[in-house]
Structure 1
Amino acid sequence: MATSPPYPTYPPGPEGLVLRHPHWWQRTWVRYGALITLLALSGLVILALVRRQTGTEGFLVGLGLAVLPVPWLISAFRWLDRVAPGPWRNLVFAFAWGACAAALIAIVANSFATKWIATATADPASADTLGATVIAPIVEESAKAAAVLLVFLFRRRDFTGLVDGVVIAGITATGFAFTENILYLGTAFGTDQLTGGRGIASVTAATFFVRIVMSPFAHPLFTVFTGIGFGIAALSAERQHVRRVLLPLCGLLLAMSMHATWNGSSTFGEFGFFAIYGAFMVPAFGLLTWLTIWTRQRELRTVREELPAYVPAGWLGPAEPFALGSMRARRMARDYARHHLGRPAAREVARYEAHATSLALLRRRGREGKAGADFVVRERELLDELWKRKDVSGPALEYAARTAAPVRMPAAPWPPYGYPAHGTAGYGTPGYGTAAYGTAAYGTPGYGYPTVPYPACPSYPAYNPYQP
């Protein structure tokens, strides 16, 4: 069996340079512990606040009804993220932030602002209207945007484009809507208990119809605009500082505007809700759905266009770029691995597909001059991740490509020759390897790589786990 090629050596630092250990508050376990503690405390406080307002019975009813749309929304966002799925820890953090921290911030800030306005104006009715149409959208969208910002800053490798922004924002808003629905539905149930409301005429039924049946996507729809702003900023070059700041702000302002329009629909007359729903919500939902699906197809096209550069070098088999650029072929490869080697093999194929997609997107950003300073290191990490799983994933992807291809795929064996050094004609496509990494020419058409030779790729192992 072939082993993974060694990692490239790093240039030595200046003589006399002392490696300093990070301070205790900079350690990973400290940051994770502080974040988990913050979210846990927020969850306990929000649980106590909601239960106090709805009562135990109302809380349980609200919880049972509010959880219904959550699996569907999360599944929809995960489906959008299937091309280059992000790690589960980011999604868990986003949902927990929305359900606990953002919801707590919104309840405390909205209540304080509404009471202050009512005291200052001596008009509680106007204060409630102003709080719902102005204060709530600003506070809630800012609180939800904080989760997207944290992932964008501290999980930058996992935040590479528009789809990542949409998914993180949508999952955060799903968590927020979950907690808010518990509050609204539990309060409505308590009202019915006091007034004797029953059946379809009850406040609980009306609240359930509006919030769970008609508009479960409302909060995700608003916050997705913020995610789009961060996603486009992630596609920008690092030197475009103004663009990377203004785009998320514009997305946040658009989310606030949509949220304010939706909350203000009740003030537009008897049919204001249905007018806003039909004129704004449904078209916006359809437009964003089309945009995210188009972006997903664009990522698949990037995979088909960028990965063939690694085929002549032997890192990928000749049929793999086609299979990795087709969702149908990807699914067939996972099923093939699961049938022959079990679920662990299918998970390895799924990881292979995810790493290959990340490699293609990284290469596209580099060709467009938008790659970061760690481009070469990141490329090498991804290539090594692929090589570790090649003995399981290679045959499965080749089978999927030959089964799903509209034309006969090449029957050539896995290339046994090595990976050519940077700057040679054999690396990548013509025109690559002309400029040293970090020079002014880097990032322009025909950009180059470091002048240090790239390690040779080992030959593909002869062992095929799918054959007896």
Structure 2
Amino acid sequence: MFRALRPVLARPSGTFRTCVLLVLLAATGIAILELVREQTGTPGFFVGLGLALLPVAPLMAAFRWLGRAAPAPWSQLLFCFAWGACTAALIAILANNFATQWIAAATADPSEADQLGSVAIAPVVEESAKAAALLLVFAFRRPHFTGPADGFVVAGFTAIGFAFTENILYLGNAFVQDLADGTGVLDSVTAATFFVRIVLSPFAHPLFTVLTGLGFGAAAVSARRARRLCLPLLGLALAMGMHALWNGSSRFGDHGFYVVYSCVMVPLFGLLVWLAVRIRRGRLRAVAAELSLYAAAGWLAPAEVPALASMPARSLARSLARRSGGRAAGRAVARYEADAVALAMLRNRARRGGPLREADFARRERELLNRLWQRRATAGPALARAAVMEELLPHGFDPLAPFGTPEAGEAGEAAEAVVAAEAAARPAGVPGPRRQEPSVRRSGPWTPATPAGPSSIRPCVLPGGDGVR
């Protein structure tokens, strides 16, 4: 039996890894729930659970909004949330308790142990435990980790899960203390804890872990091996430093907490919000630039490119498809949009020098192009119509015309300019994308008269010198 399992254990498949992770999450989830319930008591546990749930949905929606330009699978995001809530929280509680007890025994001063543990031990343990989820996604889901935005979102969901479990513990303990003291609602420790952790600083843990996520995201598009190793460690070190500063703020005097909150946390939060918006806009610009090459090669209709680079147009296209073809058509358009964006991010990552082998690039590109072609008849007209309704097309642009024809107007000239610029930068003797113009029937936006399959059109291949490794 062991001999039969040896190949599976030596080279685990995706299904085997998934099963192992699900078992791990289930085991740590049961353990952390029982541990928290034991520390807070059953009434405190349910009160803490109800209050800790309040910020989860808004925070998830905020990070999901950032990632919608090139959305990650929900399964991946839910794994990160579960890792933070279960595995990372369990590791942090056990390691922090052990370290605090060991320091207390060594120094014979429990107060000193608590202070040193919260400033020196907890940030290292907690940020490392959360970073493990990012490392797993980075290692085993590399096609979905295409830049800083992915690191931002994955880190955010992991930290939301961790803060959720931690809030249950803090709020549950505060409620138990209030029951023992018999204090009123307004003067209660529970109200004060809720204000500080849920109202004032729900973004604290996401703020720290996002720094680690940005390090992993920068490593995903770095061509140099040294940077791919150092950038995540640098991000983790920054996250630990910010976490230590936050935990130690109350020890900087009577107003230390408010000083750190107003002078460090709020400005850093504003900076990261600005960076998130900038990253999102940059991704949409990259989608437009990269997909224009595939449109010039005949894989997409000209009007699809601006629609795919606009979030309102994508949403409108899904809505139009659902109206005309039902939920199945809406799902087909959604998958078409996700595959098109994944294709753009794949090429953009390789162009920027990401660690991507040429064979892997070609295989993944062919896979995405085949999937796009299968749903093109449904998604193409919906996206073209959405582009017209959102007024994304230049004046005089005909959405029925392929690139390179007189009717294409400014969009055709822009596409030709992109192809020409890429050809000028290509080393001599290296083939580039071949543009072919599928025939178009005028009965509707982008309806091929001869439905040729993907084998009849050569896909865009990455030019030499684009940093493929």
- The correspondence of residues 373-392 of structure 1 with structure 2, limited to 5 A, is 373=358, 374-392=360-378
| Cα distance in structure 1, aligned partners of 2:247 and 2:389 | 51
> 1:342-390: CA deviations, max 9, x gaps?
2332222222222212222222233344343311121111111211111
Pairing 1:326–2:310 present: yes
Alignment of 1:21-420 (within 5 A): 23-25=7-9, 26-237=12-223, 240-370=224-354, 371-373=356-358, 374-405=360-391, 407-408=394-395, 410-411=397-398, 413=400, 415=402
Letter in 2 for 1:209: F
Query: Which one-letter code corresponds to 1:346 in the other structure?
Result: G
Deviation at 1:432, TM superposition (A): 5.2
Q: Which amino acid aligns with 2:8?
A: W
The answer to whether the 8 Å contact 1:314/1:460 transfers is no
Matching residue within 402, 411, 420 for 1:430: 420
Is the CA contact (8 Å cut-off) linking 1:392 and 1:465 kept in structure 2?
no
Superposed displacement of residue 235, structure 1: 1.1
Q: Which runs of 5+ in 1 are unaligned?
A: 1-20, 418-425, 435-444
- Over 3 Å counting, the alpha-carbon distance change for 1:448 and 1:455 in structure 2 is same
The one-character-per-residue Cα deviations of 1:48-86 (angstroms, maximum 9, x if unpaired) are 110000000100000000000000111111100111001
CA contact (8 A) 1:416 1:459 kept: no
- State the distance in 1 between where 2:441 and 2:121 align: 62
CA contact (8 A) 1:314 1:459 kept: no
How much has 1:404 moved relative to structure 2? 1.6
CA distance in 2, matches of 1:304, 1:416: 14
Tell me the TM-score normalized by structure 2. 0.85
Secondary structure in 2 aligned to 1:311?
Answer: helix
The gaps in structure 2 that reach 5 residues or longer are: 405-415, 448-469
Provide, for residues 280-326 of structure 1, a one-character-per-residue CA deviation record: whole Å limited to 9, x for no partner.
11111110111111011011111222211122332111111111111
Q: Is contact 1:145–1:223 with CA below 8 Å preserved after alignment?
A: yes
Are 1:142 and 1:252, in contact at CA under 8 Å, matched by a contact in 2? yes
Q: How far off its partner does 1:414 sit?
A: 5.6
Structure 1 residue 401, shift from structure 2 partner: 1.0
Contact 2:402–2:437 (CA<8 Å) still a contact in 1?
Answer: no
- Return the alpha-carbon distance in structure 2 between the equivalents of residues 36 and 449 of structure 1: 49
Deviation at 1:212, TM superposition (A): 0.5
Q: Equivalents in 1 of 2:191, 2:119: separation in Å?
A: 24
Matched residue type, 2:357: G
State the one-letter code of the partner of 1:199. V
- Alignment check: 8 A CA contact 1:84 1:354 kept: yes
Q: Which letter maps to 1:215?
A: S
Contact preservation (8 Å) 1:50, 1:59: yes
- Residue type matched to 1:333 in 2? A
Q: Provide, for residues 3-30 of structure 1, a one-character-per-residue CA deviation record: whole Å limited to 9, x for no partner.
A: xxxxxxxxxxxxxxxxxx9812223332
State the one-letter code of the partner of 1:372: R
CA contact (8 A) 1:313 1:427 kept: no
- CA positional deviation for 1:339: 2.1
Q: Which amino acid aligns with 1:358?
A: A
The structure carrying a bigger helix percent of its residues is: 2
1:457/1:57 CA distance change after superposition, 3 Å: farther
- Confirm whether residue 446 of structure 1 aligns to residue 446 of structure 2: no
Q: Distance in 1 between matches of 2:403 and 2:257?
A: 65
SS at match of 1:342: helix
1:213 & 1:449 partners in 2: Cα distance?
A: 61
Give the CA deviation at 1:460: 6.4
> For the aligned residues, what is the CA RMSD?
2.8
Give the direction of change, closer, same or farther, for the CA distance of 1:369–1:194 in structure 2 (3 Å limit).
closer
* Distance in 1 of aligned mates of 2:162 and 2:258: 23
SS in 2 for 1:77: helix
1:272–1:432 CA distance, 2 compared to 1 (3 A)? closer
Question: Could you state the TM-score of these two structures normalised by the residue count of structure 1?
Answer: 0.85
Aligned to 2:412: none
Q: How far did residue 464 of structure 1 move? A: 5.9
Give the conservation status (yes or no) of the 8 Å contact 2:298–2:436: no
Instruction: Provide the residue aligned with 1:12 in structure 2.
Output: none
Measure, in 2, the Cα distance between the counterparts of 1:304 and 1:179.
40
